[in-house]
Amino acid sequence: MFRKNKNSEKTGARARNTPIGTRREALTNEEHSRTRSVRIYVQTYQSWRKTVFDSTTQPNNPVMHDGFSVGKRIVRSRIGLAMGDVVALAAGFLMPFAFAPFGFYGLTIVVLALLFQVLLVASAGRGFWRGWIFGLAMFGTGVFWIHESFRFAAVSLPLALLLTGGLIGILAIYPALFGFFAALWSRRFAMPSGSGPTPASGRLLSISLGALLVFPAGWTLLEWMRGWFLTGFPWLQVGYAHGGSPLAGLAPLLGVYGVGWAVALSAGLLLVAFRLVMENRNLATKARIIGLSSLLALGGGIWGGSSWLDQGAWSTPTGAPIGVALIQGNIPQDEKWLPALRQPTLERYLSLTRREAGRDLVVWPETALPGSYHHFTDFIAILRREARFHHMNILFGVPTLEGKSQRHFNSIAAITDMGEVLFYHKKHLVPFGEYLPMAGILRGILDFLKIPMSDFSAGPAGQLPFSVAGQSIGASVCYEASFGENIIASLPRATLLVNVSNEAWFGDSRGPHQNLQMARMRALESERYLLRATNTGISAIIDPQGRIVGRAPQFQLSVLTGTVTGMRGATPYARHGNRIIVSGALLVLMIGIMIGAFAPLKSKR
């Protein structure tokens, strides 16, 4: 029916008389390329049009409207990308308000749900960018207080801001990596929109798979990595915000990362519920109700079960209650090491200790003695006499020097009621604060920048708890209480925990509040009383359920007193550490990836 001239040349006849579907065989390479480009453009335009324009809006003349439509598509696409970036930035800015001193812990769930949403629709590169700006906003708002410490290290303000900004940029890489892999998974493994019984159910299944399995597990694993890689930086891990929420019941079982996993899963539930209600309008009402009921049941099970676990079932009291006194000397950091103020500092601590002579245990803060231990021989002799005479035990922070090796330690000395002196040497040191990593490379740079640097050595592993006041005391210094692994190293032998710190470095910032919040999590994980003595605050007595039962006012000379009881037994977290939650998160992540990889293949068969 297509032939017009039987005598035409073979090539011309094929070019003129074959059907349109096969006519491209006779076209030149240039014409073929142009035809293919037009076809791809039309298909792309039609596919996009179905999702962007209302189905009732049909142009009378597609040719006349194509230019306008494509322009509108480009504008909408750019606006969508910008809005996703803005949401990621705003979410990161909001996250620190979930932590102390604000305590709006529910924000962690909303913020993660927003982050998950903008990553679901992003390319891998855009996901990395959104994760990074989220991290910049979160750490830039939440841990900017670190720059305060440089003020006491003779570092100029511009250099302090530069160093703090560099740290924030590095920390932001962690959520950036999460964003990259989350977006990559969404593009590579998520079910296509047309798979499943209906396009709506297929999209919902894809979102649910990511939001409930892959994203919470991935977020938990990256937070865990941030907690140990390059000595670790665990501040603003979402589990810490929930030390006072029902999810805190998971802490003795799975630690702070288990609580964080429950937070991320709750965020996934919120996201799926929102998408189910607001976007899947083609989904049947019955299916919608069933879906929402299932999400509500799962969320209620997580929160209700966690609340039920928060009963202190893993430990029991041991020994007689003991009276304690935490002395908050309130020595300003810029005066602490002045030679002229050394004697007044000693007299302050000694006089406050004598007032608490009836207490079983008196605790001073980190580096309470303004110099090395061997410089205070006469003063130590006085403390030993006081301890024997009043039958009390005194713990205080002091730098020590090991004679043979000439190594310096950041230590806690314990003077028992028998006059014996015991020591604990800090094991987990602050990089760039207490020691210089990669000293051979960085020493010259710091000398050039005129940045002073401490040179402490890490204490040996396997140090035993103090046996004082009828209890076995697991001691830690400052930074060590930010890491659960440091504290459980003394368990289950330790019946009571003591942490000494000098928060004067961070001034009137969020830092001391966040550090106290992290110490509460250590009490929860171990189900032990934790005594926290600081120089300028915030000194506190924390019970085994993570509740603050006594708290000293910040920036005031104060003595915080109370009665505590030793606890024996071991929580699952104390026995197994992070192995349970890390193994579980890895397993869930692999299951989610396998399901996501298999489902599209199955739908194509």
Give the residue extent of every domain in the chain: 1-33, 80-312+581-604, 316-570
**Which H/E stretch holds residue 424?**
strand 421-425
59, pLDDT greater than 50: no
Cα–Cα distances in angstroms (integers) from residue 84 to residues 75, 90, 126, 154, 299, in the given order:
14, 10, 9, 41, 27
| Tokens encoding 272 | 């799926």
What percentage of the chain exceeds 70 in pLDDT? 79
32, pLDDT greater than 70: no
Residue 16: the pLDDT is 46
Angle CA 85–88–94, to nearest 5? 140
Residue 121: the pLDDT is 87
Strands 558-568 and 466-468: unpaired
Q: Please name which of 255, 280, 317 lies closest in space to residue 486, comparing C-alpha atoms.
A: 255
Residue 147: the pLDDT is 87
- The conformation of residue 213, written as its DSSP 8-state character, comes to I
Which stretches within 234-376 are classed as H helix?
251-278, 285-309, 342-355
Question: Span 280-306, mean pLDDT?
Answer: 85
Rounded Cα distance between 387 and 357, Å, is 9
Query: What string of DSSP letters covers 104-170?
Result: -TTHHHHHHHHHHHHHHTS-HHHHHHHHHHHHHHHHHHHSGGGHHHHHTTT--HHHHHHHHHHHHHH
445, pLDDT greater than 80: no
Per-residue confidence band for 599, with pLDDT thresholds at 50, 70 and 90: low
Cis peptide before 327 (omega within 30 of 0): no
Q: Please name which of 405, 385, 407, 406 lies closest in space to residue 394, comparing C-alpha atoms.
A: 385
Question: Span 551-564, mean pLDDT?
Answer: 96
Count CB atoms within 10 A of the CB of residue 152: 17
Residue 507: the pLDDT is 87
Residue 33: the pLDDT is 46
584, pLDDT greater than 80: yes
What percentage of the chain exceeds 90 in pLDDT? 61
- Contacts of residue 514, defined as CB under 8 A and 6 or more positions apart, other chains included, come to 99, 100, 142, 143, 235, 236, 240
Residue 45: the pLDDT is 45
Question: Span 223-250, mean pLDDT?
Answer: 95
| Tokens encoding 509 | 């910032």
Residue 326: the pLDDT is 97
First-to-last alpha carbon distance for the chain, in angstroms, is 38
- List, in sequence order, every residue forming a beta bridge with 316; answer none if it has no partner: 568
Residue 403: the pLDDT is 77
Count CB atoms within 10 A of the CB of residue 179: 27
Q: Mean pLDDT highest for which of 9-23, 268-282, 297-311, 429-443? A: 297-311
Cα–Cα distances in angstroms (integers) from residue 441 to residues 429, 454, 585, in the given order:
19, 16, 37
Least confident of 13-22, 286-295, 524-533: 13-22
Which three-class secondary structure state does DSSP give residue 500? Answer: strand
Q: Are 554 and 537 in contact (CB under 8 A)?
A: yes
What is the gyration radius of the CA atoms in the chain, in angstroms? 32
Rounded Cα distance between 409 and 373, Å, is 10
- Contacts of residue 554, defined as CB under 8 A and 6 or more positions apart, other chains included, come to 508, 512, 536, 537, 538
Rounded Cα distance between 485 and 435, Å, is 20
Which three-class secondary structure state does DSSP give residue 27? Answer: coil
| Tokens encoding 356 | 């608490």
20, pLDDT greater than 50: no
Which three-class secondary structure state does DSSP give residue 101? Answer: coil
- The superfamily (CATH) of domain 316-570 is Carbon-nitrogen hydrolase (3.60.110.10)
Least confident of 118-127, 184-193, 287-296, 526-535: 184-193
Which three-class secondary structure state does DSSP give residue 450? Answer: coil
- The conformation of residue 8, written as its DSSP 8-state character, comes to S
Handedness of CA 458, 173, 250, 522 (dihedral sign): positive
CA 77 to the chain's CA centroid: 32
Question: Span 551-576, mean pLDDT?
Answer: 96
Per-residue confidence band for 555, with pLDDT thresholds at 50, 70 and 90: very high
The amino acid at 431: P
Least confident of 4-18, 76-90, 294-308, 388-402: 4-18
Per-residue confidence band for 430, with pLDDT thresholds at 50, 70 and 90: confident
Q: Please name which of 410, 370, 539, 434 lies closest in space to residue 153, comparing C-alpha atoms.
A: 434
158, pLDDT greater than 90: no
Render pLDDT for 472-510 as a digit per residue (tens, 0 to 9): 999 999 989 999 999 999 999 999 999 999 999 898 999
Residue 116: the pLDDT is 96
226, pLDDT greater than 60: yes
42, pLDDT greater than 50: no
Residue 81: the pLDDT is 77
Rounded mean pLDDT of the chain? 84
Question: Span 247-265, mean pLDDT?
Answer: 96
Strands 471-477 and 466-468: antiparallel
Residues with a known catalytic role: 366, 426, 478
| Tokens encoding 586 | 């890895």
- The conformation of residue 458, written as its DSSP 8-state character, comes to P
Which position has the token pair 């601590």?
349
- Contacts of residue 289, defined as CB under 8 A and 6 or more positions apart, other chains included, come to none
- Contacts of residue 432, defined as CB under 8 A and 6 or more positions apart, other chains included, come to 453
Residue 62: the pLDDT is 46
Least confident of 193-197, 255-259, 459-463: 193-197
547, pLDDT greater than 80: yes
Per-residue confidence band for 447, with pLDDT thresholds at 50, 70 and 90: low
74, pLDDT greater than 80: no
Least confident of 173-187, 454-468, 526-540: 454-468
6, pLDDT greater than 50: no
Q: Are 517 and 549 in contact (CB under 8 A)?
A: no
Q: Please name which of 241, 234, 240, 238 lies closest in space to residue 104, comparing C-alpha atoms.
A: 241
22, pLDDT greater than 90: no
Q: Supply the pTM of this predicted model.
A: 0.84
